[in-house]
């Protein structure tokens, strides 16, 4: 056998003998207790109530934790404390900046109170919402935050059986059995319509998302129909997306009588309508006024910038987080809270020709 072959064989043998066949496992509470020479209960006390532990014992346990690279298990802590310290939020979609802003504020405020957030999307399907709500409860959610007041019988049965603290957002109703923290959708839509009326517009197309299973859209449309004025509303239903807006614009432009203003019950849809109008050479606001409802960050950056109604979604996330934390920690059920909306007048709406404000 050549010298090279012998050297290769030796190298292989060394590699095999140096390899540790025993996989390393994550250190647990018992490992820490053994290394520190204390009981498991003492280690648990160091993790949860360090102020009650003698300094020398505390130092030994913390030294063992560092050396073993021990990371406490959330599941184990839940067993010991009876708390999972997380809440669930059910929203229709993450593909809309209004929900992203709400969830960001909600998570930020919850974390200040040592609570974590788990988010589930429902695609505006109430059956899916009930199923995912049960899933959140099954894995230990201490509270729920849901969008809107319309829910299935299965969802309400889940709340009745578990008595889990649950808050409704994006909707205000002080007569609701569940506390609501949100805005008056009817009033928000009326504020938008009155702005267009004050500008002299009388032929107004209203573009909105699906009404089925969406009490927020239903409330907004109801609010518009309650206003007594000398004009005509034409409603167009579409999906809540940029594409839905562009498709709605094409339909409106095909009508024999063109509107002098378009009111969209969502900024996302309004921006889609704007793109659709511009693609057909329609000038906004010179040829018609356009406004939305949400006040998304992108609405201030469009050309022209979008007149809209500001919905206080970040404030809503903060208030919902505070209220749910108090309900969970001290059993203080919150009262309904109405958050005010306001008109944001920008460049996409102007007085109708010949009309003075």
Does 185-310 carry CATH code 3.40.50.2300? yes
Tens of pLDDT, residue by residue over 119-166, are 999 999 999 999 999 999 999 999 999 999 999 999 999 999 999 999
Dihedral angle of Cα 327, 330, 334, 339, to the nearest 10 degrees? -80
Q: Domain 3-80 belongs to what topology?
A: 434 Repressor (Amino-terminal Domain) (1.10.260)
In order, the DSSP letters of 145-173 are EEESS---HHHHHHHHHH---EEEES---
Measured in degrees and rounded to the nearest 5, phi and psi for residue 32 equal: -65, -45
CA angle 288, 294, 295 (to 5 degrees): 80
Q: Which of 68, 76, 44 lies closest to 57, judged by CA?
A: 44
Measured distance CA(158)–CA(142) in Å, rounded: 13
CA angle 307, 309, 314 (to 5 degrees): 125
Along the 357 residues of the chain, how does pLDDT read in single tens digits? 444 444 444 444 444 445 455 556 788 888 999 999 999 889 888 887 888 899 999 999 999 999 988 887 655 655 565 678 899 999 999 988 899 999 999 999 999 998 999 999 999 999 999 999 999 999 999 999 999 999 999 999 999 999 999 999 999 999 999 999 999 999 999 999 999 999 999 999 999 999 988 999 999 999 999 999 999 999 999 999 999 999 999 999 999 999 999 999 999 999 999 999 999 999 999 999 999 999 999 999 999 999 999 999 999 999 999 999 999 999 999 999 999 999 999 999 999 977 666
Whether a cis peptide bond, with omega within 30° of 0, leads into 304 is: yes
Measured distance CA(233)–CA(258) in Å, rounded: 12
Measured in degrees and rounded to the nearest 5, phi and psi for residue 81 equal: -95, -20
CATH fit for domain 85-183+313-341, picks 3.50.50.60, 3.30.1450.10, 3.40.50.2300, 1.10.3720.10: 3.40.50.2300
> Contacts by 166-172 with C-beta closer than 8 Å and gap 24+?
167/143, 167/320, 167/323, 167/324, 167/327, 167/334, 169/102, 169/145, 169/316, 169/317, 169/320, 170/102, 170/216, 170/313, 170/316, 171/147, 171/215, 171/216, 171/219, 172/336, 172/337, 172/338, 172/339
Measured distance CA(226)–CA(218) in Å, rounded: 13
Q: Looking at the DSSP assignment, which residues form a beta bridge with residue 307?
A: 291
85-183+313-341 against 185-310: fold identical: yes
The token pair at 84 is: 């999972």
pLDDT reported for residue 194? 98
Q: Where are the domains of the chain?
A: 3-80, 85-183+313-341, 185-310
Q: Which residue has the tokens 């511009």?
A: 278
CB 316 within 8 A of CB 181: yes
DSSP letter (8 states) at residue 50:
G
Measured distance CA(108)–CA(316) in Å, rounded: 12
CB 346 within 8 A of CB 306: yes
């Amino acid at each position: 056998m050549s010298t090279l072959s012998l050297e290769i064989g030796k190298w292989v043998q060394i590699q095999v003998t140096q390899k540790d066949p025993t996989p390393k496992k994550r250190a647990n509470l018992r490992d820490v207790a053994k290394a520190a020479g204390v009981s498991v209960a003492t280690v648990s006390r160091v993790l949860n109530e360090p102020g009650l532990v003698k300094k020398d014992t505390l130092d030994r346990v913390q030294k063992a934790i560092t050396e073993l690279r021990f990371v406490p298990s959330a599941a184990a802590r839940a067993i010991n404390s009876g708390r999972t310290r997380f809440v669930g939020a059910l929203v229709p979609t993450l593909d809309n900046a209004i929900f992203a802003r709400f969830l960001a504020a909600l998570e930020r405020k919850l974390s200040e109170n040592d609570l974590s957030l788990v988010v589930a999307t429902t695609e505006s399907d109430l059956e899916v919402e009930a199923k995912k709500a049960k899933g959140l409860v099954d894995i230990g959610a201490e509270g729920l935050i849901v969008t809107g007041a319309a829910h299935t019988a299965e969802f309400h049965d889940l709340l009745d059986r578990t008595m889990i603290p649950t808050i409704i957002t994006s909707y205000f109703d002080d007569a609701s059995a569940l506390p609501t923290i949100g805005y008056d959708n009817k009033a928000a839509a009326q504020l938008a319509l009155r702005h267009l009326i004050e500008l002299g517009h009388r032929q107004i197309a209203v573009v909105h998302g699906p009404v089925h299973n969406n009490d927020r859209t239903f409330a907004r449309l109801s609010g518009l129909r309650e206003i007594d004025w000398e004009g005509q509303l034409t409603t167009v239903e579409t999906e809540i997306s940029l594409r839905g807006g562009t498709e709605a614009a094409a339909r409106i432009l095909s009508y024999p009588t063109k509107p002098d203003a378009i009111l969209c019950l969502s900024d996302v849809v309004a921006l889609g309508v704007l793109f659709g109008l511009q693609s057909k050479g329609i000038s906004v606001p010179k040829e018609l006024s356009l406004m939305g409802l949400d006040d998304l960050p992108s609405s201030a950056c469009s050309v022209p910038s979008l007149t809209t109604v500001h919905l206080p979604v970040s404030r809503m996330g903060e208030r919902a987080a505070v209220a749910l934390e108090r309900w969970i920690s001290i059993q203080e059920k919150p009262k309904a809270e109405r958050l005010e909306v306001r008109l944001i007048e920008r460049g996409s709406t102007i007085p109708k020709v010949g009309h003075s404000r």
